[in-house]
Structure 1
Amino acid sequence: MSQTEATSREIYESVVDYVAHNTGGVQPPLIHEAPVVSSVSLIYPEEHSSRVRSAIAAATSRGDLFRYVDESGDHKRTYLGTDDADALEDRIREYHDRSERTTRNGALCLKIANQRVGDLRGEDDE
């Protein structure tokens, strides 16, 4: 292993941290998957982006992140968010408190995030 090769753990932690730092506040509570892959790939230029995608898959299977695929529009869009109800509620609240207006994407992210919080808390819509 060369000195520039990243461990799977480093990439994993970078993915989870990137999602945490780029959601909430003036940003929606979820983030598109593509910028996560490209940004984390820039941190580790010697690594193939498939390792970042593998880290995302691991984070979703371990419950650190959740993935939501929206196929309702012309293009399929994949969102990532933290998979902890309390942390996700914090990001929702921060977005409401800090954003002056909600974009269409922001509104969709809020809807998905609120549904996920309900799922994590075992709330039933019916």
Structure 2
Amino acid sequence: MSGEASSKEIYESVVGYVEKNTGGVQPPLIHEAPVVCSISWSYRDEHPSRVRSAIAAATSRNDLFRYVDESGEHERRYLGIDNADALEEKIEEYHSRSQRTTRNGAMCLRIANQRVDDLRGDDS
């Protein structure tokens, strides 16, 4: 794509990328870095900061949520769809299609399940 992309185009690309690349055989959350790289690749004339701005906008508008894992040596950021029904569907897809759950997959499931509880107002 050439020329300047609109903020809306980048925003929709970010949300769509997270939507398409979570669930099924993939965990219900995705690392943020590949999202930035892939969308930046799609809009080569744009600076990655515009993609990061779109992610920030999507999290502030509750289309996506971000989880920051600071437990390891390096901070890891994850993104997921910020809708209880959609996220629950992605959790169920992953359970039914995944042959085995990796450590990362198990962590994503735990975070996603907690987010569903938070969105539904479950205090347990």
- Deviation, 1:74, is 1.5
Structure 1 residue 4: deviation in Å? 1.3
Q: Which amino acid aligns with 1:121?
A: R
What RMSD over aligned residues (CA atoms) do the two structures have, in Å?
A: 0.7
* 1:65 matched residue in structure 2: 64
Q: 1:114 is matched by which residue type in structure 2?
A: N
Match of 1:89 in 2: 88
Whole-angstrom distance in 1 between the partners of 2:48 and 2:64: 18
Give me the whole-angstrom Cα distance separating, in 2, the residues matched to 1:108 and 1:74. 16
Displacement over 4 Å in runs of 4+: none
Identity %: 76
What is the SS of the residue equivalent to 2:113? helix
TM-superposed CA distance for 1:89, in Å, is 0.2
Please name the residue that 1:110 is paired with: 109
Match runs of 1:2-81 below 5 Å? 4-81=3-80
What's the CA shift for 1:31? 0.1
Listed as ranges, the gaps of 5+ residues in structure 2 are none
3-state SS in 2 of match to 1:80: strand
- Count, aligned residues: 123
1:31 maps to a residue whose letter is: I
Q: Which amino acid aligns with 2:66?
A: R
SS class of match (2:22): coil
Give the letter for the 2:73 counterpart.
Answer: D
| TM-score normalised by the chain length of structure 1 | 0.96
| Partner SS state of residue 81, structure 1 | strand
Give, in angstroms, the shift of residue 40 of structure 1.
Answer: 0.3
SS in structure 2 at match of 1:27: coil
